[in-house]
Structure 1
């Protein structure tokens, strides 16, 4: 990580590099794409982009009955044009890019489409975005021909969505010609993600996030190819989600208006899936659940000692079963997150009836903690989920966890290597590097954090599903969430997407490219903070976006 003294020097380097190269520079300049693709070649010719750029799916095996590709193409055009008035003159003989041809080739998409349509008929319409779906693509932009067409080839529609995002970053508005241009053609880009899990956590318990804000976060995730929104829905402070099986649970919301209906949640899931993003739902049990008892006080050990949830009561697990049953109708992702962290079990031993229950069952506090986590896991599995738990469960009784458990590292480094050595899967979110609420954590630290650190066995490396940056909500709300997430989350996104051999060995060589991407986010309406300084910092002086 760069020291405070070296950061101004890095920004000076940004100025020099930006002066030397424009957007998507030619053969002599850098490639201004984020995250960096696996393989890139380009030329030196500038193309004009037609005002009526067309999408063609001739030859594609993907029928796009739900309009996923069509809608993504329209969103791509919007972020390319950025509300500029495109009214320049196309001169005869100028190389004109007339359209984008997309070929989705996997026969699996036909099955996916059929299942999606079946769910649509059941009023649970969604796209089936399976974990580990093929997200690879090939993007080709020719420099000669009449007319010219960019070509996208992908195994699935989700690879095609990533290709459209990459294509959008090749284009820019020419203020003199008042047209959209595409520089450095011909382009050939072949790309695929390094990790299947590339996540961002949001927290709607510490501060409520309105649905449009959540959707704006999902949109911003697609610009850097993140693909899992980890929704930490409830916690000690608030229970904002409607649970039909136990309708009094959302009595624990902050207020009547700071809630999400089931339809809101379904809408968020479908919105995300159409953009290639899965939604991972979390209930954090047995701790972090004080808000549950506002509606159902019997979930508390006592009126004066209110958490963790009462381990001795069958009703506790009936409620968990009801929540997960309702979740299974909303959240279609393969995984559910059951938390399990920071459990202070003292209420169990200071509440006489629970203490008696422990003695009767031959348990101490540690045994009861394990009993609770394992019983919650069985309930989740009964509803078709694989489980994710925070790392304390592994640290305390890893050999007892269900073998389908994914251990979510957060306390620090060195955990992932122990998890995979034990044969379990892991997600990396070590707080010293990938916690966005740590405002002193710089983007350089986000970029250099390696999920496979000290893991050399190829079989064990495959057990690391990826990583996640965490936007805990104690000190953020709708007013400042985006500038706290970006651009630091983008630095982690490249680490999770780009092949390790293509990643920069130090952050100096990517500073200018990330600065341009941060400006691109701003242009697209995402309030990404300057690179200089720390998380959520304001610009220090007047100047260009690309110099901050």
Structure 2
């Protein structure tokens, strides 16, 4: 045991030494020509002028009448001018004093596949200079605002906000419509303000789906008015979410162009339901999966989904379906007798439960999402609208799209953030389209998400675990492919940007994710 620990420590020391040497070599060389924007835009051009930005920068254009754009402008203006107390007020003329946002369709409905493209033009016209963001939707305008905020930096010599390498011309759009982060609030409760901080940071990386894994076998923290005793499954009366809390999260996310996809994982991962309603357990001593033999189980599920449909407008709803051990069904005599009367095996019953849950979700105008085990077990029986969520195995999405289903990529070997030994470059070099070559099948890959399972993460360390590796996946889902040599300094810069914005993102290249710096040094070299 002692030798193993010493050996691991030696490896970390040697790894850290070589990384530090490569940093020194890299930073002594000219930097890559790619701009420090994350994620990298699809197309862009720039020159070498420096423009000053008026601290009284105003919003003009028809986008100014959109509450979402206006709120986004106010947020980003606060970020850009966070050093406002030091800005010289005596400067008479600034190069840029207006932000012109033009939106062609000001509808504020946020659903899967909403147009997030934008064009960003930065020009110089002394005394009447402006930046123009043109987008088809208000949500595309939000993405343009984020890019604009990253073009701006505070210059400590002149005490002004500047745009370097102007003029800029950017034409940008994402590769995938679904770019997600899964957040688990069952293994550890996360306060509302922490969830909001994470959503805010997601917008900086242009992620657009929060997959909220609200409940699991450990706890049921969400209020369900139809079955109010489900709340008894929370860790404590202080670790709960009201209906109003959930509304607040959804609306907060929408203002940042982020959908919230809720998950109720059935029939497994639902032990906490029985704390308040023990009749959903097969028996008091055998509590998972949910009792398939009772209509009451499906009544409770339907009630939960009815309550949640009032809260979550996103068209996708996650029904889980993973890691179902059916021993409770066969080992509980009453349930086993029901299976025999129905002429079902335990495998048949698993299929029956998943399909019945899908029917309930579909009846409430939801598109069901299920983990890959459902596809592996009975692909021909899944509803054609089903979105299959890959997590366990490699090569699942190619099989899924070949059968005509849509797929979300989250392979646990590369995109599970709770795997602390997965480095940023492994995350970055992973493409959801790997092994899929036909254009018609590539279109069936909605995108992917990084998953933040919370067995060993809570408010004290969750953001350091999410960032900056989630940003590596975010660029892969937004931007054309780049090599890690040019990506590394940009990701380090983005990590420092997150820190400046109050996000406690961990160093990029440490041996284990979320570990603190190994010694003194610049943020840009860690």
1:39 aligns with 2:43: yes
- Spell out, residue by residue over 1:405-457, the C-alpha distance to the aligned partner (whole angstroms, 9 max, x if none): 00000002110100000110000000000000000011011000111111001
Is structure 2 residue 322 aligned with structure 1 residue 318? Answer: no
Corresponding residue SS for 1:508: helix
Question: Do residues 167 (structure 1) and 148 (structure 2) align?
Answer: yes
For the residue of structure 1 that corresponds to 2:239, the secondary structure is coil
Map of 1:49 onto structure 2: 53
Q: 1:263 aligns with which of 217, 230, 244?
A: 244
Kindly indicate whether the alpha-carbon contact (under 8 Å) linking 2:95 and 2:125 is maintained by their aligned counterparts in 1: no
Deviations 1:104-162 (A, max 9, x none): 012xx3xx3xxxxxxxxxxxxxx520110000000000034431000000000000000
Q: Which residue of 2 aligns with 1:97?
A: 96
CA distance in structure 2 between the aligned counterparts of 1:70 and 1:477, rounded to whole angstroms: 33
Residue equivalent to 1:88: 88
Kept after mapping to 1: 8 A contact 2:55/2:81: no
* Equivalence for 1:515: 492
Check whether the contact 2:119–2:144 (CA below 8 A) recurs between aligned residues: yes
- Which residue does 1:71 correspond to in 2? 71
Whether contact under 8 Å (1:10, 1:508) holds in the other structure is no
The residue number in structure 2 matching 1:466 is 447
Alpha-carbon distance in 1 for matches of 2:165, 2:292: 63
CA distance in 1, matches of 2:328, 2:311: 33
Partner of 2:516: 538
SS of 2:51's partner is: strand
Greater RCO between the two (CA within 8 Å, min separation 6)? 1
Cα contact 2:95–2:124 (8 A) shared by 1: no
Query: What TM-score do the two structures reach when normalised by structure 1?
Result: 0.91
Q: Structure 1 residue aligned with 2:199, among 214, 218, 229?
A: 218
Question: Deviation per CA, 1:73-122, whole angstroms, max 9, x where unpaired?
Answer: 11101221234523325555x6521010000012xx3xx3xxxxxxxxxx
Q: Which residue of 2 aligns with 1:381?
A: 362
Deviations for 1:40-68, whole angstroms, at most 9, x for unmatched residues?
Answer: 1011111111010101124x5x841xx21
Show structure 1 runs of 4+ deviating over 4 A.
Answer: 3-22, 89-92
Give deviations 1:301-336, integer Å, cap 9, x for gaps: 001001100001000000110011111100000100
Counterpart-to-counterpart distance in 2, 1:457 and 1:358: 43
Structure 2, unpaired ranges of 5+: 1-10
**Residues matched between the structures, number:** 514
2:176 maps to which of 191, 195, 208: 195
Aligned to 1:297: 278
Change (3 A) 1:157 1:405: same
Alpha carbons 1:85, 1:178 under 8 Å: kept: no
TM-score under structure 2 length normalisation:
0.95
8 Å CA contact 1:308, 1:347 repeated in 2: yes
Say if 1:313 and 1:466 are closer, same or farther in 2 by CA, change over 3 A.
Answer: same
Q: Which residue of 2 aligns with 1:25?
A: none
Ranges in structure 1 where 5+ consecutive residues have no aligned partner: 23-27, 113-126
Could you report, residue by residue, the CA deviation over 1:182-218 in whole angstroms, capped at 9, with x for unpaired residues? 1111000000000000000000000000000000000
CA contact (8 A) 1:10 1:511 kept: no
Task: Give the Cα–Cα distance (whole angstroms) in 2 for the partners of residues 281 and 252 of structure 1.
Answer: 18
